Structure 1
Amino acid sequence: MFKKIALAFAFSPRMEALIAETKKLVVTFESELVLIHVGKKTPELEEKVERVVQSKQLEGLKTTLVWKEGKPARMILEACRQHDVDLLVTGALKKEGFLTYYMGSVARKIIRKSHCSVMTLIDPQVETSSFSKVVINGTQLTVTPQVIAQGIKFSKQVKAEQVHVLNEIKMYGLQMGTAGEDSEEEVSNTRRQLVQNEIDYVQQILNTIDLADLRVNIKVTGGKWAIELARFCEKIEADILIVGDGRRLNFFDRIFPHDLEELLSTLPCNLLLIKK
């Protein structure tokens, strides 16, 4: 699924935890590792990185260390392109936007312009995290079948115990379907049918995927998908939320600047953004 996994790291207290988390992903997906740092290369910093590499026993992995100087977002994305990275791992703050080191607009540039998938970890651990509870965005978009397929593949690889696909009732459909002078029973039936339509949409996608031993729960909700995803993840204490980016299909035209930015500003859990 991910042949090359990159970590954009800073010399911060969470550096070792991020490297440990990324190493676990590299081992799980049998990937190559690319470590990226944007900043001036000095003998002291080189020695510090070498000590961390040795302490985390990365020598047995196929590892490439990349140093770049310049604007962080541009250099990180350039390194990912040059090394054909499939997944970029970063640290994140749960309540203060995205990325502990690459703050504000830099983070949004990485999200918007990255050609590869991006994973943000809000609380990386040296002993590494688990991804036992996975939530996948099932909102009807052109990119959604790919997001669900990749989400299921990820869930199988990390041996998730719970997998939820969250879809939404299209509010305009509900409003149109109940706009007449229907009885309360007819309105209720219309709502049930709309919910069933969304369940069927997800189920048809799941029918094309090998689920192995995964048990997948389909949930339908109303309201803005970003808000509902965040609420649901917090409610079940999800370990990771998987959403998609079909940029070439104008997916970002729909979700920026409000929905995804809102989701990133208060990350409910770790996030995996699937790119085409």
Structure 2
Amino acid sequence: MSLKPFKSIGIGVAFSPNLKANLFEAARLAVFFESKLFLIHVGDPSEDKIKALKIILAPFKKDALDYEVIFKMGNPVDVILKTTEEQNIDLLILGALQQERFLKYYLGSIARKLTRKAKCSILLLIKPSVNRVPCQHIVVNGLKDPKTERTIASAFYVANQLQAEKITIVEEIKQEEIKIKVDDDISLRRTNIIKERIKLRENARIKDIIAHIPKEYTENITIKTQPIFGQQGYSIGHYAQISRADLLVMNAPTKMTFWDRLFPHDIEHILTELPTDVLILQ
């Protein structure tokens, strides 16, 4: 794993009521990850806008925040996607919307399109704040996938940089792995035995992944493994919500097809109703 997986961070800048909170979150992360921050504004350049951004980011001067403002005209989705590629942005920060009268968060149309199309990692924020809210508990997917080892290693890097106290690695296990129909005590016992064997197998796989991560990232944090039988995406999102996780870290989907929109897979379940801040790693 690279010691600096996020060398550059991008965020779309709209002069809205959330501007200061969004910029503070992005600037803090740029400082924590020692990254360059790109502020992407879809619109005409102006000295007034640059001055306003400078005033907001003034508190980060002491941290030697390295940032650049980019102005471009065009369709917001196209502009931001093109800029992430031109500037080799590793992490794009997007904000979520809150449903009126409900404490539920979802993505607007622009953020959803960017999440589906961006070739870089994505961080979805549900409640950006001017004052830092410590990240104490990170939940990361541990499903059997070629991307998972790097995702778990990156989650430990993030935890280390943000000084999180705990990481839970959730192994989502499909119900199809248990092929016994439970209709009496004997079949119930057999099902439980199979479940325990699967849990032991999955925990051994995760321990092997953790063993390959540099100790500097794993020694000062509480590590928990949590096998869950259920629907991928929905199960881990529900777990992150009930465990009050501050951040959920997920693999990016390998591909997004027409069928994925009809029959949502794991990431689509998460995007429908965000349980917490979500980091989707490419």
Question: Same fold by TM (over 0.5)?
Answer: yes
Number of the residue aligned with 1:265 = 272
SS at match of 1:272: strand
CA drift of 1:59 comes to 8.8
> Is 68-77 or 257-266 further displaced after alignment?
257-266
Whether 2:22 is the aligned partner of 1:15: answer: no
CA drift of 1:178 comes to 5.5
Whether 2:133 is the aligned partner of 1:129: answer: yes
Contact 2:199 2:227 in 1 (8 A): yes
Structure 1, residues 52-71: CA drift from partner, whole Å, max 9, x if none?
A: 23365489322110011111
Structure 1 CA distance for aligned equivalents of residues 62 and 71 of structure 2: 17
Of 93, 96, 104, the match for 2:97? 93
SS at match of 1:256: helix
Number of the residue aligned with 1:40 = 44
Quick one: which amino acid aligns to residue 116 of structure 1?
Answer: C
Unaligned 5+ runs, structure 2: 99-103
Structure 2 CA distance for aligned equivalents of residues 56 and 27 of structure 1: 8
Number of the residue aligned with 1:221 = 228
Structure 1 CA distance for aligned equivalents of residues 51 and 191 of structure 2: 68
Of 252, 259, 263, the match for 1:245? 252
SS at match of 2:97: coil
CA drift of 1:201 comes to 2.1
Structure 1 CA distance for aligned equivalents of residues 52 and 201 of structure 2: 55
Whether 2:61 is the aligned partner of 1:54: answer: no
> Is 157-166 or 195-204 further displaced after alignment?
195-204
Aligned pair count? Answer: 266
User: What TM-score results when the alignment is normalised by the length of structure 1?
Assistant: 0.88
Quick one: which amino acid aligns to residue 193 of structure 2?
Answer: N
User: What TM-score results when the alignment is normalised by the length of structure 2?
Assistant: 0.86
Whether 2:206 is the aligned partner of 1:202: answer: yes
Whether 2:238 is the aligned partner of 1:231: answer: yes
SS at match of 2:129: coil
Structure 1, residues 187-222: CA drift from partner, whole Å, max 9, x if none?
A: 221121122222222222112112232221000111
CA drift of 1:231 comes to 1.3
Q: CA RMSD in A?
A: 2.4
